[in-house]
Structure 1
Amino acid sequence: MAKAAQRIPVTLLEGDGIGPEIVAASCRVLDALGAPFDWEPQPAGLSAVDSHGDPLPQATLDSIRRNGLALKGPLTTPVGKGIRSINVRLREEFQLYANLRPARTIVEGGRFADIDLVLVRENLEGFYVGYEHYIPVGGDPKAVAESAGINTREGCRRIAEWTFDYAARHGRKKVTIVHKANILKLLTGLFLETAMEVGKRYEGQIAIEERIVDNCAMQLVMNPWQFDVLLTTNLFGDILSDQIAGLIGGLGMAPGGNIGKDAAIFEAVHGSAPDIAGKGLANPSALLLAAAMMLEHVDEHERAERLRTALHTTINTDGIRTGDLGGKASTEQFADGLIARL
């Protein structure tokens, strides 16, 4: 008798808006796949503010710290003074320094075919540190706004080492370092210099190039196939990751992983879409692709590929699509089609 796969506890954050719908659908699909996850639901987002007075209650943080693994639906940061971005809080709390954003063609027939890119974004430094203040002049208390970006040699080296290691383990052939060192000579110059130094260790195995961010953005829509792995800083990565999502059909097909030494949180990167919440219209594909990334993270590579293949076949061969992909299937009908394929 075959030995049963070891069960893996995972913190499950349903999120807000369409979050509960796509999380429920995704869990059904993952159970049908035989994924070895034991779900530990925890409150987060707007519902947690109502029940616990905090969008990230201590019990939720303790669960993620204990399990070291989480699957997260979209979270809405409540509008209100003093309440910071929930995603930024999670990244800082668990030092999730690597933001992994793959873009791979699933939906056929789009403007760009056969896209297979990976963007790695440094997740804790740059302009996202949020060191900002106003400088009053005369009677205007907000006459000048000033913001500081911070990159450290250690932080640059850490994300570069992670990226080149990822590229080597996944058979990638090239890393493009994206920067703005022609203008931000110190802030992104340090990033470029450090990443190039790390890249020298992989000479003969992985090709290395560097691109100024604005040129890279243009080249991504002119000839995206020239790129393989993109490595960049926090702000540039935030922008370019959404751009590459556009190459494969939008954020509805875009998964993300936030990875650190002791924890990893996988997520659908789109918003909570409160306007369609509860209507059964949401596409769970981004969260399912994030779950495939999580399966790979725990060395369940065969199941990850089965899930991606089922998504591709359900959408393209069976023609089962949610409204955002030009179809009429509900969230549940889409999940049913995937389960039938699995």
Structure 2
Amino acid sequence: MAMKLCVIAGDGIGQEVVPQAVRVLRQLLPQLQTVAADAGWETFQRSGNALPPVTLAAARDCGAVIFGAVSSPAHKVAGYRSPIVQLRRELGCHANLRPTLSLPGCGTPGIDLLIVRENTEDLYIGEEQSDGDTATAIKRITRVASQRVAASACQLAVAEGRRRLTIVHKANILPLTDGLFRDVARQVAADYPQLQVDELLVDTAALKLAQAPQAFDMLLASNLYGDILSDLAAAFGGGLGVAASLNLGEQAAIAEPVHGSAPDIAGQDIANPVASLLSLALLLRHWWQLPALDARLEQAVRATLAAGIRTPDLGGSAGTAGFCDAVLARL
């Protein structure tokens, strides 16, 4: 079966880091077929659709996607919807994997944390209404989605040899929604006796994560809490420039560097491509089931950083393309 990758660079620095990261991936997968597609704010301004049907069709056909970054308006714009949120839901990518690793020369030593975030519901369903004086947003938690993400988290934990799973919630204040998520997650985890399962209120989890990120092994959270906590954890891994993620589903997977479009540095060849490279490494491991190639790519990135080759956000002087040249040399 042909290996295909839908390449959505998006806006801003996505148009720099994604092509460079794909160039590195081709060294590992010379048979890879790529399909370029458009999405994002610039696409919306051109076409009136931030995720055109042709892009969605290409993503479905390929199964594997890399999604760079998108700019977003600071206020409501008629017809605009977040293309990455829409793409995750359309492709059924129910679990967001956010690892935080200690990399050479950046971040806090001793961290190997994986946050698994439910990816399809919670407040992110976008059902809001307002009469001008009162605004209301719907928080939706379902048994089906909670079971699905909890099963994925437990399976990943066992596959990667992790021992402890911490369920994050706010069931003391939201006993029906967060209570359902917690209870279902515990029911699923009961089938994995090799895992030590505990739970934390989200505010306590944030405090403990800020105090001692090394103390955690794996967190399971609903959409909003997982989004916030994974960005907090990224601060200990070297920042958003190195923060990778994978949106994983049964029919598709989306590699997604976590950083934004960073328009202030776009076009200057100084954006950090590590998040894109490590997101593709996650795609190699969890979607294409090629753990040896994942290990090679991650090791090449680590060796490059260890050699002192870093982009300006990490205190170095390497450019986006130059950093990827160095990774290629180590491959």
Taking the aligned partners of 1:12 and 1:198, their CA distance within structure 2 comes to: 35
Listed one character per residue, the Cα deviations across residues 15-59 of structure 1 (whole Å, up to 9, x for unaligned) are: 111112111211221122346421111121234335543221111
Q: Where do 1:10-159 residues align within 5 Å? A: 10-34=5-29, 36-77=31-72, 80-108=77-105, 110=107, 112-135=108-131, 142-159=132-149
More strand by share: 1
Taking the aligned partners of 1:34 and 1:162, their CA distance within structure 2 comes to: 27
Instruction: Please tell me whether residue 219 in structure 1 is matched to residue 215 in structure 2.
Output: no
Match of 1:151, SS state, is coil
Do the aligned residues in 2 keep the contact of 1:77 with 1:84 (CA within 8 Å)?
A: no
Taking the aligned partners of 2:264 and 2:294, their CA distance within structure 1 comes to: 31
Taking the aligned partners of 1:12 and 1:165, their CA distance within structure 2 comes to: 28
Correspondence for 2:163 among 135, 156, 173: 173
Instruction: Please tell me whether residue 232 in structure 1 is matched to residue 221 in structure 2.
Output: yes
Match of 1:269 in 2: 258
Q: Where do 1:255-334 residues align within 5 Å? A: 255-296=244-285, 297-316=287-306, 318-334=307-323
Listed one character per residue, the Cα deviations across residues 268-310 of structure 1 (whole Å, up to 9, x for unaligned) are: 1110111111111111000000000011021111111111111
Unaligned runs of 5+ in 1: 1-5, 136-141
Q: Taking structure 1 as reference, are residues 50 and 96 closer, same or farther at Cα in structure 2, changes over 3 Å only?
A: same
Match of 1:73, SS state, is strand
Do the aligned residues in 1 keep the contact of 2:49 with 2:79 (CA within 8 Å)?
A: no
Match of 1:202, SS state, is coil
Q: Taking structure 1 as reference, are residues 32 and 208 closer, same or farther at Cα in structure 2, changes over 3 Å only?
A: same
Match of 2:329 in 1: 340
Taking the aligned partners of 1:241 and 1:114, their CA distance within structure 2 comes to: 17
Match of 2:69, SS state, is coil
Do the aligned residues in 1 keep the contact of 2:39 with 2:51 (CA within 8 Å)?
A: yes
Number of residue pairs matched? 328
Do the aligned residues in 2 keep the contact of 1:117 with 1:228 (CA within 8 Å)?
A: yes
What's the offset of the Cα at 1:242?
Answer: 0.1
Match of 2:189 in 1: 199
Amino acid in the other structure paired with 1:321: R
Structure 1 stretch 277-286 or stretch 75-84: which is displaced more? Answer: 75-84
Taking the aligned partners of 1:126 and 1:182, their CA distance within structure 2 comes to: 17
Do the aligned residues in 1 keep the contact of 2:271 with 2:311 (CA within 8 Å)?
A: yes
Taking the aligned partners of 1:50 and 1:119, their CA distance within structure 2 comes to: 34
Match of 1:3 in 2: none
Amino acid in the other structure paired with 1:106: L
Do the aligned residues in 2 keep the contact of 1:72 with 1:267 (CA within 8 Å)?
A: yes
Match of 2:272, SS state, is coil
Do the aligned residues in 2 keep the contact of 1:35 with 1:303 (CA within 8 Å)?
A: no
Match of 1:209 in 2: 198
Q: Taking structure 1 as reference, are residues 146 and 47 closer, same or farther at Cα in structure 2, changes over 3 Å only?
A: closer
Listed one character per residue, the Cα deviations across residues 100-130 of structure 1 (whole Å, up to 9, x for unaligned) are: 11111113354x2121100011111111122
Q: Taking structure 1 as reference, are residues 35 and 257 closer, same or farther at Cα in structure 2, changes over 3 Å only?
A: farther
What's the offset of the Cα at 1:131?
Answer: 2.1
Taking the aligned partners of 1:61 and 1:315, their CA distance within structure 2 comes to: 35
RMSD over equivalenced CA pairs, Å: 1.5
What's the offset of the Cα at 1:71?
Answer: 0.9
Instruction: Please tell me whether residue 250 in structure 1 is matched to residue 245 in structure 2.
Output: no
Amino acid in the other structure paired with 1:217: A
Taking the aligned partners of 1:85 and 1:50, their CA distance within structure 2 comes to: 13
Taking the aligned partners of 1:154 and 1:330, their CA distance within structure 2 comes to: 45
Larger radius of gyration: 1
Q: TM-score, normalised by structure 1?
A: 0.92
Unaligned runs of 5+ in 2: none
Do the aligned residues in 2 keep the contact of 1:103 with 1:117 (CA within 8 Å)?
A: yes
Taking the aligned partners of 1:78 and 1:218, their CA distance within structure 2 comes to: 31
Listed one character per residue, the Cα deviations across residues 181-212 of structure 1 (whole Å, up to 9, x for unaligned) are: 11111110011111111111011x11101011
